[in-house]
Amino acid sequence: MKKKLQDYGIHVPEGNRGELSGKGVTADYEWDGQSNLTITITEKPFIVSCDTAARKIKDFVKECHGS
């Protein structure tokens, strides 16, 4: 998933927690190393609704065979 995010232009730090950034969006993430990924959007463009941002993240996770 990290590689796919990086290919999309999103900066992803090493490790299981940190800050993602790119495309005008900043988010904190934490992964337990097995199956639980928590993403919290901390900044986004004003024009993008919270629902749209959340839907895009959920769609991306599903693309990577997550739920």
Instruction: Report pLDDT digits (tens) over 3-62.
Output: 888 888 888 888 899 998 888 889 999 988 888 889 899 999 999 898 988 888 888 888
Q: What is the pLDDT of residues 20-34, one digit of tens each?
A: 888 888 999 998 888
> What SS3 class is residue 52?
helix
pLDDT of res. 67: 56
20-52 residues labelled b (16+ CB within 10 A) or e (exposed): bbeeebebebebeeeeeeebebeebeeeeeeee
Helices (H), strands (E): how many in the chain? 2, 3
DSSP strand pairing (17-22 vs 25-31): antiparallel
- DSSP label of 17: E
pLDDT value, residue 66: 63
Q: Whole-model pTM above 0.85? A: no
The structural domains of the chain, with segments of one domain joined by +, span: 2-61
